[in-house]
Amino acid sequence: MTLYILRGTFILLTASVTMLYVLPFQASQSVLLPAQDNQSVQFSHVLLMTLLTLGVTGVIVAADIFTPRKKLSAMSGVFLGLLAGLLAAYALSFVVDLIGLLVAPAAETERKPFLDLLQGVKVLIGLLTCYMSISLVVQTKDDFRFVIPYVEFAKQIRGQRPILLDTSIIIDGRIVDLAESQVMQGQLIVPRFVLEELQTIADSADSLRRARGRRGLDTLQKLQDNPKADILIEDRDAEGHTVDQKLVALGQELHARIMTNDFNLSKIAGLRDVDVINLNEVATALRPVALPGEPMQIKIIKPGEAANQGVGYLDDGTMVVVERARQQIGKEVQVIVTSTLQTSAGRMIFARYDNPTPGSAPQK
């Protein structure tokens, strides 16, 4: 509503200012014209200037409406480039004036057209310097801080950086548990083109692809309903022909990280200096330190709750419950891991001691 009021006020003000400036000029000119032509000339000139002003104003407002997502960095670059171009044109105008004084014709009839030509040269120089300056600033805005300290156009995100979700990570579904655990503090961003790809998969004729797409949509719904997850649907588009290319380009633009299960996307993003969180690598890093069937050296510290159990601890404090090891308290023995149990309170390892004391029958 505020923008509509602003645009309407802008149009009215420009039309009013035009009429305020044109009407006095027409009144002064009407003295020099015949009485019968005053009204027609005055009306036609006022109407022409008003329509011209409204046309220019309409173009400006239309450009403002059809570019709703403006980039402050681009606007700042254009403004700074325009300022530098005008300053350069002003400096070069003195050189043009000096050349005009040196080579201007002596005859008055030839001198005035020559000076008028120099004014046109000044305008062309101004257009050229403004174009070159704007183009230079916009194309080199990322390196501009090295030229002018403390001036930069790239958005610097401090603290937690946003995370772009890939289609594969949404279909995977484990992102819901990660959000519930509050491990990720940054904002989760789902680009519009990823959502459209999920919808395309959900509408596929293949039953398997259709099930995967619907699973991804259900995952998004759970994330939106989760108060612990800060999720945003990003409408802006990005450069590229595929979803992966657009994700990498949007990650560069937002200085965000990409969460994915796609190995190839991880490699491409790494080559373009975009940070990637590969959930498969995260799961590998969190895998148990002991797998079933692996041998382990453990010192039995105390008896367990069940008969014939011994209890030991790893260096990180993980409890190891060993069957057939009650008689080995105080000794360091080699055991075989049978299973692991991960709970919210920590991890427990269950093992078996396969070297019973001499004279005892092996237990089955």
**Per-residue model confidence (pLDDT) at position 146:** 42
**Per-residue model confidence (pLDDT) at position 335:** 92
Rounded to 5 degrees, what angle do the CA atoms 183, 184, 188 make? 150
> Which of 45, 68, 91 marks a domain boundary?
68
User: Are both 43 and 135 inside the same structural domain?
Assistant: no
**45-54, 73-82, 139-148, 187-196: range with lowest mean pLDDT:** 139-148
User: Are both 190 and 268 inside the same structural domain?
Assistant: yes
Does residue 290 lie within any of the structural domains? no
User: Are both 60 and 77 inside the same structural domain?
Assistant: no
Provide the CATH number for the domain around residue 218: 3.40.50.1010
Other beta carbons within 10 Å of 122: 17
User: Are both 112 and 142 inside the same structural domain?
Assistant: yes
Question: What separation in angstroms does the CA of 209 have from each of 199, 204, 213?
Answer: 11, 6, 6
Give residue 306's pLDDT band: very low, low, confident or very high (50, 70, 90).
confident
* 21, pLDDT greater than 70: no
Distance CA 250, CA 343 (A): 38
Distance CA 333, CA 353 (A): 8
User: Are both 46 and 111 inside the same structural domain?
Assistant: no
Overall average pLDDT of the 20-40 stretch: 55
* 30, pLDDT greater than 80: no
Give residue 278's pLDDT band: very low, low, confident or very high (50, 70, 90).
confident
**Per-residue model confidence (pLDDT) at position 359:** 44
Note down the domain range covering 328. Answer: 295-352
**Per-residue model confidence (pLDDT) at position 87:** 92
* 124, pLDDT greater than 70: yes
**Residues 6+ positions from 295 with CB-CB distance below 8 Å:** 334, 335, 336, 337
Which residue in 254, 212, 249 sits closest to 232, CA to CA? 254
Query: How do beta strands 309-313 and 319-323 pair?
Result: antiparallel
pLDDT digits (tens, 9 = 90+) for 294-304: 888 899 999 98
Does residue 303 lie within any of the structural domains? yes
Does residue 358 lie within any of the structural domains? no
Mean pLDDT of the chain: 79
User: Are both 145 and 191 inside the same structural domain?
Assistant: no
User: Are both 198 and 252 inside the same structural domain?
Assistant: yes
Which residues are bridge partners to 349 per DSSP?
320, 340
**Per-residue model confidence (pLDDT) at position 352:** 92
pLDDT digits (tens, 9 = 90+) for 64-99: 777 766 666 667 777 888 888 889 989 998 888 888
Maximum Cα–Cα distance across the chain = 136
Can you tell me which residue has the tokens 């009839």?
109
User: Are both 221 and 169 inside the same structural domain?
Assistant: yes
Provide the CATH number for the domain around residue 346: 2.40.50
* 316, pLDDT greater than 50: yes
User: Are both 207 and 230 inside the same structural domain?
Assistant: yes
Does residue 357 lie within any of the structural domains? no
User: Are both 225 and 275 inside the same structural domain?
Assistant: yes
Overall average pLDDT of the 166-173 stretch: 88
Distance CA 321, CA 329 (A): 12
| Phi/psi at 213 (5° precision) | -65, -40
> Which of 125, 154, 183 marks a domain boundary?
154
Distance CA 336, CA 108 (A): 110
User: Are both 90 and 135 inside the same structural domain?
Assistant: yes
* 147, pLDDT greater than 50: no
State the total domains in the chain: 4
Q: DSSP letter string over 51-77?
A: HHHHHHHHHHHHHHHS--S--HHHHHH
Overall average pLDDT of the 141-168 stretch: 61
Does residue 307 lie within any of the structural domains? yes
User: Are both 168 and 89 inside the same structural domain?
Assistant: no
Which residue in 54, 11, 233, 59 sits closest to 3, CA to CA? 11
pTM beyond 0.75: the answer is no
Give residue 41's pLDDT band: very low, low, confident or very high (50, 70, 90).
very low
Does residue 364 lie within any of the structural domains? no
Q: What percent of the chain has pLDDT over 90?
A: 9
Does residue 116 lie within any of the structural domains? yes
Does residue 167 lie within any of the structural domains? yes
Rounded to 5 degrees, what angle do the CA atoms 98, 101, 107 make? 160
User: Distance between terminal CA atoms of the chain?
Assistant: 79
